[in-house]
Homo-oligomer: A and B are copies of this chain.
Amino acid sequence: MPNTLTSYIQGMRRQYLDELIELLRIPSISTLPEHRSDMKRAAEWVAGSLSKAGLENVKLIPTEGNDLVYAEWMHAPGAPTVLSYGHYDVQPADPLGEWTTPPFAPEVRGENLYARGATDNKGQIFTHIKAAEALLKTQGRLPVNLRFLIEGEEEVGSRSISKYMAEHAAELPSDAVLVSDSSMFKAGAPSMDIGVRGMVYMEIELQGAATDLHSGLYGGVAPNPLEAMARLLSSLKDESGHILIPGFYDDVRQPDADEKASWARLPFDENEWRECNVKAPVLTGEPEYGVLERVWTRPTLEIHGMPGGFTGPGAKTVIPARAAAKLSARLVPDQKPEIVAQLIERALRERTPKAYQFQCRLLNTAEPVVFPPGGRFNRAGAQAIEKVYGKPPGYVRCGGSIPIVPLFARQLHAPVVMIGLGLPDDGLHGPNEKFSLENFYRGIEVIAEFLQFAARA
């Protein structure tokens, strides 16, 4: 039986591609102030595209930063309401010299479309717009109520959308949030992200002497805060990667059986993964957990930098007065950032020798969140993927922290369905970012199918 929707989408491929290329030509780099007018152009382009697709009430919502783009179609009484989220801003494109073709001159080479933002996130959010358009063109209506909320500050911390959601969530009741801002597990292995890790990021400082001292004149008697810091940090983990902070693991929830079962279906070879991704002789971490478990469902503690003393070229014989460390913990459900931050701080403070003064600053937090793979909207996503790709998705998680995901979940009291259409080698944030044309075209089908399955969920 020919599927009108699918045939329609497949017939429109050339036009969809041409339109996406238009959007990708706009260098909407949110980190660089000189692109402020490009941010406006990109927002207007996205709004225009939503209008053309048949969405209603399309508007640019001004913020202290870049505009939010809103649109809706709310004529499916009794059906669920889905909020589609994405972002029209992109990362800077440097190092420019490493791009084969310029980042804002999109080019199709082989099976891929190369441009900054191709996958992250213009290409992916565009699949949502085109899926809605295809449904409206072929069926005259959408199977669900649909809202779009597309921001222009994802690459700089999502401040404006967070503020907007804090103030206006009640005006945007939704039953599910749909996000395509991640990657499939592997080419040919579609997957859904069902959770993200949370985070606490801290900067700690030890002070020894009142001023920097000369290591010749005072070496042997003066407190050396770099040495104390090294010892302090070493005390936080054993050599097998277990975190030695009382209470740290107390709230860690194990992944459920469905989820673990789905991992077994993923095409994963540890050595290949290590060689492609980490390129180190061996991996580290808790040996009693598998690699995927360690990056998805286990909390971590990492040191990111140790400012202090002399770090320039050559030799300087200073015993610094102060040494610092930047460290973060990735968190998993049901750990609470505030509680973990307190546990870390308490352990460090208690272990600080009396020659030093300890200080601690909490720089960032993000909540961990996981959505049950068996939830109705995740099931709808899985059905859509299976229909289009011919195989069920693996349930994976994102080891990173996407603060907007737990924020949506908390403020809308709704699950977030994460259907990533990127591939692990898409070069996000790097040179030669690309989007697989197959994933672009099939992604539109997947999203359209998702909206249909969601209506029946």
Contact = CB atoms under 8 A, between A and B. Distances in A.
Interface residues of A, number: 74
Contacts of A226: 303-306
Contacts of A283: 221-223, 355
A358 B431 CA distance: 30
Contacts of A278: 209-210, 213, 218, 221-223
A305 B310 contact: yes
A256 to B, nearest CB: 20
A87 interface: no
A330 interface: yes
Contacts of A285: 220-221
A129 interface: no
A191 B215 CA distance: 21
Interface string A227-241: 101110110010101
A215 B301 CA distance: 9
Contacts of A223: 278, 280, 282-284
A401 interface: yes
A44 B309 CA distance: 39
A354 interface: yes
A316 B194 CA distance: 25
A220 B303 contact: no
B302 A227 contact: yes
Contacts of A315: 201, 203, 304, 326, 328, 363-364
A355 B284 contact: yes
A320 B282 CA distance: 16
A201 B221 CA distance: 19
A408 to B, nearest CB: 18
Interface stretch (A63-71, A74-82, A115-123, A291-299): A291-299
A31 to B, nearest CB: 13
Given A220-B295, A286-B220, A279 B211 contact: yes
Which residue, of A304, A328, A400, has the highest number of chain B Cβ atoms within 10 A?
A304
Contacts of A199: 216, 317
A365 B180 CA distance: 58
A237 B302 CA distance: 23
Contacts of A303: 224, 226-227, 230, 309
A222 B295 CA distance: 9
A18 to B, nearest CB: 33
A424 to B, nearest CB: 9
Contacts of A231: 230, 234, 239
Nearest to A296: B220
Nearest to A237: B227
A208 interface: yes
Interface string A346-386: 00000001110000000110000000000000000000000
14 contacts: A201-B315, A210-B279, A217-B400, A219-B399, A220-B241, A220-B300, A223-B283, A224-B302, A229-B230, A305-B309, A306-B308, A309-B326, A315-B364, A316-B326
Interface of A: 197, 199, 201, 203, 208-211, 213-224, 226-227, 229-231, 233-234, 237, 239, 241, 277-286, 291, 294-295, 298, 300, 302-311, 314-320, 326, 328, 330, 353-355, 363-364, 398-401
Given A219-B399, A306-B306, 16 more contacts: A213-B278, A216-B400, A220-B300, A221-B284, A223-B283, A226-B306, A227-B303, A229-B230, A231-B239, A281-B355, A304-B310, A304-B319, A304-B320, A305-B309, A305-B316, A315-B363
